[in-house]
Amino acid sequence: MECPHLSSSVCIVPDSAKFPNGSPSSWCCSVCRSNKSPWVCLTCSSVHCGRYVNGHAKKHYEDAQISLTNHKKTEKQEKVQHTVCMDCSSYSTYCYRCDDFVVNDTKLGLVQKVREHLQNLENSAFTADRHRKRKLLENSSLNSKLLKVNGSTTALCATGLRNLGNTCFMNAILQSLSNIQQFCCYFKELPAVELRNGKTAGRRTYHTRSQGDNNVSLVEEFRKTLCALWQGSQTAFSPESLFYVVWKIMPNFRGYQQQDAHEFMRYLLDHLHLELQGGFNGVSRSVILQENSSLSASNKCCINGASTVVTAIFGGILQNEVNCLICGTESRKFDPFLDLSLDIPSQFRNKRSKNQENGPLCSLRDCLRSFTDLEELDETELYMCHKCKKKQKSTKKFWIQKLPKVLCLHLKRFHWTAYLRNKVDTYVEFPLRGLDMKCYLLEPENSGPESCLYDLAAVVVHHGSGVGSGHYTAYATHEGRWFHFNDSTVTLTDEETVVKAKAYILFYVERQARSGSEKL
């Protein structure tokens, strides 16, 4: 947004400002000394932590406003407001009075000068520290990330994703997809494509909407991001290049407003699917898919053309069955899907926590049953009966004709009212292992004993009250251990914590038969 407060709040000049030593992305909060999510005030150059750490940057702004109201304002004090700050990792600018990210600049271009100065400090610190880190990693590659698990020391290879300005919705989805091994491994094994000029390769850049050309590849930047997430060589990776490509090809996600993680996931999978249907370094990606013996033809579900790894893993088929209540005519239609959106039944909507006593506990099975139960369509959804030759009352029922390898379940927590979009904050109980989907199948007798069982791989959680606000994090399992991904922070967690989460999106992976005769 265009901020009207820059002229009164941006006062520092980079050359004379007293910045801390070291790289800006590692600066510590002047209050709590945390180096997570540092923000620099563009009025006084003080550094504080972001609102999702301890919130001292916002408190700095609030304290400045209290000081102005409690003391007699001088002409100088009226100009100094401490309302605008800059993220020291992504260089995005935020105004607390506007409560939004800022895209404009002062007449003298001070915001861009500060941004360039921070970039230069970051690059200088990176260059000076690069050789020392490389030598350290060569000598002891496992010492960079160690933690205690059950009394023994083990390597923690997980990498966080830096928040580029309300991009937690993207980070949560990327971390979840990176822990779906069948999906992640396919992209990591694709051949690399170098799209950037040799002079700019590897350099951290700040992209604007008008920057760059149209020669961008979502598949390539997605591949690079997945490769960076489990190398263990850094604590956090900045997905700037991927976010830039998202801006180029998905206009709905331009800017720094909070977005819906489920909507982003659908756009991401759809665009990956479309791009994979084209060529890759002169080789058709459909050929690559066919040559990969682990993706058999029977597992493919075509959506909008040829099959890709997206439809081979996430693709399933629904049967939509509609019956006319007047003449009994039955209509069947088969619809492919990449995920299922489930309503939380209305009788459970006041149940906000697992331990709350009033009312029954809502389970994932309740949501699935509500999705597949026979439903009588209301007056606004009358069915055009071809036998009666007019719209009639009817019933509708969904069956699952084909289950996917990875079952993605979206709980519909956001609902539009007359004026705003409300959140359903109900706790929904979900299993970590053994989700049985057999009773929802059209032909369950044709399914194997374990082909309908699913184990949880990842969970996306929305914290807050509305879709346009709040914060997204993710839980995911990797090599038998559960991790909590909160932007650049990754922590080891346990199953008890995971099952208490108010899930928004659940990723279940099909349990493989013990014989191992068919593997994805």
Lowest mean pLDDT among 260-269, 300-309, 471-480: 300-309
Domains of the chain, by residue range, sit at: 6-68+79-126
pLDDT of 518 strictly over 80: no
Distance, CA of 83 to CA of 235 (rounded, Å): 30
Alpha carbon separation from 20 to 45, 114, 132, 422 (Å, rounded): 9, 14, 21, 43
| C-alpha pair distances (Å), 52 with each of 221, 318, 465, 471 | 27, 40, 15, 8
Residues whose CB is less than 8 angstroms from the CB of residue 142 and which lie 6 or more positions away in sequence, other chains included: 155
Buried residues in 95-121 as b, exposed as e (16+ CB within 10 A): bbeeebbbeebbeeebbebbbebbbeb
Q: What was the pLDDT predicted at 146? A: 46
Report, in angstroms and rounded to the nearest whole number, the Rg of the chain calculated over CA atoms.
26
Q: State the angle between helix axes of 218-229 and 181-188 in degrees (0 to 180), rounded to the nearest 10.
A: 110
DSSP-H helix ranges across 41-95:
56-70, 75-79
Identify the band that residue 79 occupies on the pLDDT scale cut at 50, 70 and 90.
low
Residue 263 has a pLDDT of 94
Yes or no: say if 435 and 506 are a contact pair by the CB < 8 Å rule. Answer: no
Q: SS3 breakdown of the chain: % helix, strand, coil, rounded to 5?
A: 30, 25, 45
Least confident stretch, 19-33, 130-144, 383-397, 497-511? 130-144
Distance between CA atoms of residues 15 and 346, nearest Å = 59
pLDDT of residue 56: 92
Token readout for 51 is 């609102």
Architecture of the structural domain at 6-68+79-126:
2-Layer Sandwich (3.30)
Using an 8 Å Cβ cutoff, are 369 and 439 in contact? no
Q: Is the pLDDT confidence value at 389 over 50?
A: yes
Q: How far is Cα of residue 255 from the mean position of the Cα atoms in its chain?
A: 16
Cβ contact 379:156 at 8 Å: no
Q: DSSP labels for 379-436?
A: GGG-EEETTTTEEE-EEEEEEEEE--SEEEEEEE-EEE-SSSEEE----EE--SS-EE
Whole-angstrom Cα distance, residue 516 to residue 519? Answer: 6
SS3 state of residue 46: coil
pLDDT reported for residue 205: 34
Which pair of structure tokens corresponds to residue 322?
């509609």
User: Does 454 score more than 80 pLDDT?
Assistant: yes
User: pLDDT confidence of 447, banded at 50, 70, 90?
Assistant: low
Asked if residues 490 and 474 have their Cβ atoms less than 8 Å apart, the reply is no
Q: What's the pTM?
A: 0.66
Catalytic machinery residues:
168, 471
Q: Supply the pLDDT for residue 150.
A: 42
What integer pLDDT is reported at residue 317 of this predicted model?
Answer: 92
pLDDT at 429: 94
List Cβ<8 Å contacts ≥24 apart for 97-102: 97/5, 98/1, 98/3, 98/4, 98/5, 100/1, 100/3, 100/256, 100/257, 101/1, 101/165, 101/166, 101/255, 101/256, 101/257, 102/1, 102/2, 102/3, 102/6
More confident residue, 362 or 120: 362
Burial bucket for residue 448 (CB in 10 Å: 0-12, 13-18, 19+):
exposed
Please tell me the predicted confidence (pLDDT) of residue 364.
94
Q: Is the pLDDT of residue 144 over 80?
A: no
Give 71's pLDDT tier (boundaries 50, 70, 90): low
Give the HSE-up count for residue 17: Cα atoms under 13 Å, Cβ half-sphere: 23
